[in-house]
Amino acid sequence: MNMPTKVDVGVATRDTLTALALGDPDLVAAGVEVRQELRDRSRLDERTYALVKLAAIMALDAPPASYLWQVANGLAAGATPDDMLGVLIAIAPQIGGPRLVAAAPELMVALGLTLPDGT
């Protein structure tokens, strides 16, 4: 993979990326507000909304940080680890074996479980 040696990045883009990378509380708060607005518009209860979002990140083969965030949201909304496993099993035919196998350890780690030795 070739890395660019010089890229022209605007000040606003650089500042926003820096703020996101540092977890700027204003940007995080804005994201939470948007999340709440979308949840309200979905007309789903918080638990269902969290489980649907968990299904989406599983289907998308999202990075580990997404699992940590969404599992925490799900638990806070009243979803259980059994519910989350149920979501994974329910979507298995749609996402296929490779994504199922990739999602399982991410879910385990996000739930605070330890992966077996050798993985």
Model confidence band, residue 3 (pLDDT cutoffs 50, 70, 90): low
Model confidence band, residue 13 (pLDDT cutoffs 50, 70, 90): confident
More confident residue, 36 or 13: 13
pLDDT, one tens digit per residue, over 21-68 is: 776 767 766 766 777 788 788 899 999 999 999 999 999 999 998 899
60 phi, psi to nearest 5 deg: -90, -5
Please, what is the Cα angle at 63 between 96 and 69, to 5 degrees?
110
% residues pLDDT > 90 (the chain): 55
C-alpha distances out from residue 54 to 17, 46, 71, 72, 87, Å: 25, 12, 7, 10, 8
